[in-house]
Amino acid sequence: MTKMNIGIIGTGFIAKILAPQIQSSNKARLAAVSSRTLAKAEKFVANYPGAVAVEGADQLIARDDVDAVYVATPTAAKEDVASRALAAGKQVLIEKPLHSAESFKRLSALAREKGLVLMDATHFVHHPRTAAMRERLADLIGAPRSLHTMFYFPFSDRENIRFDPTNEPMGAVGDMGWYSMRAVVEYLAPNTLEDIKVFAERDPQSGAVIRSTGVLKFDAGKTATFDVGYTAGAAVMDLTVAGTSGILTQDDFVLDWHSGFGFDNPDIQTGFVHRSGMATRNEFAFIETPSERSQHALMIDNFADLIRNGDAAEREIWLSATEKTQVFLDAIWQEIQTQARAVPGTDPSSKK
Ligand SMILES: NC(=O)c1ccc[n+]([C@@H]2O[C@H](COP(=O)([O-])OP(=O)(O)OC[C@H]3O[C@@H](n4cnc5c(N)ncnc54)[C@H](OP(=O)(O)O)[C@@H]3O)[C@@H](O)[C@H]2O)c1
């Protein structure tokens, strides 16, 4: 099988995580890496024989030996870079979150027009656990009614883009809340948002949102609560989906403890827990969903497959999930901004 030639735009934290997965894939190879500073790209590719270092995204996009680009830049730069890649006929894997649903809609319209893949880089949806839980959900818990997620990791580096509202306007909401909203899309599958209440805490120095919690009410009586941020002092990735006849839980819904990047615990099985009725902890059932490959490696494979199979209907499924996730994220963000405007002096966007 001919491997898909992928170029990476950006040389930061997540680019370094994904590069080895691209290079070791049976379906893709790392063809090129671009940086705004050539020396950084050269240093990056030193570990990847055959990969070329280039200066600037445009040079990478212009290369004939690049079929697809992975956009690993801060959110503020994503639409600009991705739209230029799509316009040039390149398939695009883009980091989450997007700047806004409107921004994503412009990109997806371009991808449709060109018949290209546009996929967001959420890893957990590629783990077989996600499909297994979706398939068995109705059988195990009836109709899903409410979903709760809690996602924190301790983080306080003010030099990082997470504390830079210019580059990452939504802060922890965009970074962590993205996964909460994607879980809503995957497991609760609501159609429309009817009501929302959100609380946000900002870093006093940078103005970046560092914690947020809230509740969303959807159609058909479905509800979701979320609690995300950098301030809890411990990593937590809890998910609970409650249905009319049972409950499913995961304690590692974003990055599985087994081999999600950041973790490497071969002894910890990946799966989900089912309970119903008055079951006590001894009676909870752990449903194992093993995977030979990590969820971020599977994401690269699935991206390459989606390009290769040319299936427009399948491309739409991915576009739809991304758009819905971003629409719910935007609603959270709008609520936070509305509150900030109502309390003079708390809206960082007014401190220009
Ligand atoms: N899917 C995941 O699991 C995951 C995990 C972490 C982060 N992310 C997302 O990925 C994005 C990047 O996060 P990160 O932690 O990798 O950030 P990072 O370490 O700051 O890396 C971003 C890179 O983008 C390039 N860059 C910076 N500003 C740019 C600009 N204005 N225009 C073009 N390129 C620019 C820089 O590379 P050069 O200096 O070489 O150009 C920089 O190293 C964020 O939106 C974040 O939410 C996703």
Say which CATH number the domain at 32 has.
3.40.50.720
Nearest CA to ligand 1 atom 37: 10
- What local confidence, expressed as pLDDT, does residue 352 receive? 38
CA dihedral 189, 154, 267, 296 (to 10 degrees): 50
203 C-alpha vs ligand 1 centroid, how far in Å? 20
Whether residues 113 and 131 share a domain: the answer is: no
Whether residues 35 and 170 share a domain: the answer is: no
User: Counting atoms of ligand 1 from 1, which one is nearest the CA of 73?
Assistant: 24
Note whether residue 309 is domain-resident.
Answer: no
Note whether residue 308 is domain-resident.
Answer: no
Whether residues 116 and 138 share a domain: the answer is: no
Note whether residue 213 is domain-resident.
Answer: yes
- In this predicted structure, which of 106-115, 201-210, 340-349 has the lowest mean pLDDT? 340-349
| Structural domain count of the chain | 2
Whether residues 204 and 277 share a domain: the answer is: yes
Q: Which domain holds residue 10?
A: 4-120
Whether residues 57 and 94 share a domain: the answer is: yes
Whether residues 175 and 259 share a domain: the answer is: yes
DSSP code of residue 174: I
Name the domain boundary from 77, 99, 120: 120
Note whether residue 302 is domain-resident.
Answer: no
- What local confidence, expressed as pLDDT, does residue 125 receive? 98
Residue 343 confidence class, pLDDT cut points 50, 70, 90 = confident
Whether residues 166 and 109 share a domain: the answer is: no
User: Counting atoms of ligand 1 from 1, which one is nearest the CA of 81?
Assistant: 33
Q: In the sheet that 193-202 helps form, which strands lie side by side, from edge to edge?
A: 193-202, 209-218, 223-229, 144-152, 236-243, 247-250, 271-275, 285-288
Name the domain boundary from 85, 120, 155: 120
Alpha carbons 110 and 88: distance in angstroms, whole number: 11
pLDDT for 5 beyond 50? yes
Q: Report H helices in the chain.
A: 13-24, 38-45, 57-61, 75-87, 101-114, 128-141, 171-172, 178-183, 295-309, 312-342
- What local confidence, expressed as pLDDT, does residue 342 receive? 85
16 C-alpha vs ligand 1 centroid, how far in Å? 10
Note whether residue 348 is domain-resident.
Answer: no
For the chain, the farthest-separated pair of C-alpha atoms sits apart, in whole angstroms, at 61
Note whether residue 351 is domain-resident.
Answer: no
Distances (CA, A) of 26 to 65, 253, 298: 17, 26, 11
DSSP three-state, residue 37:
coil
Whether residues 172 and 41 share a domain: the answer is: no
The residues annotated with a catalytic role in the active site are 96
Residue 340 confidence class, pLDDT cut points 50, 70, 90 = confident
- What local confidence, expressed as pLDDT, does residue 46 receive? 98
Residue 344 confidence class, pLDDT cut points 50, 70, 90 = low
Whether residues 152 and 103 share a domain: the answer is: no
Given ligand 1 and candidates 69, 98, 124, 161, which is best to mutate, with the most ligand atoms within 8 Å of its CB? 161
DSSP code of residue 282: G
Kindly report, residue by residue over 70-117, the tens digit of the pLDDT: 999 999 999 999 999 999 999 999 999 999 999 999 999 999 999 999
247 C-alpha vs ligand 1 centroid, how far in Å? 36
Q: Which helix (H) or strand (E) holds 261?
A: none
- What local confidence, expressed as pLDDT, does residue 351 receive? 45
Alpha carbons 190 and 131: distance in angstroms, whole number: 17
Name the domain boundary from 120, 148, 164: 120
Question: What mean pLDDT comes out for the span 311-315?
Answer: 98
Q: Pairing relation of β-strands 28-35 and 91-94?
A: unpaired
Average pLDDT, the chain: 96
Whether residues 107 and 139 share a domain: the answer is: no
CATH of the domain at 208: 3.30.360.10
DSSP code of residue 281: G
Side chain identity, residue 303: F
Residue 341 confidence class, pLDDT cut points 50, 70, 90 = confident
% of the chain exceeding 70 in pLDDT? 97
pLDDT for 184 beyond 80? yes
Note whether residue 301 is domain-resident.
Answer: no
Note whether residue 22 is domain-resident.
Answer: yes
**Is the distance from the beta carbon of residue 14 to the nearest atom of ligand 1 less than 6 Å?**
yes
DSSP three-state, residue 267:
coil
Question: What mean pLDDT comes out for the span 328-332?
Answer: 98
Whether residues 116 and 129 share a domain: the answer is: no
Whether residues 91 and 209 share a domain: the answer is: no
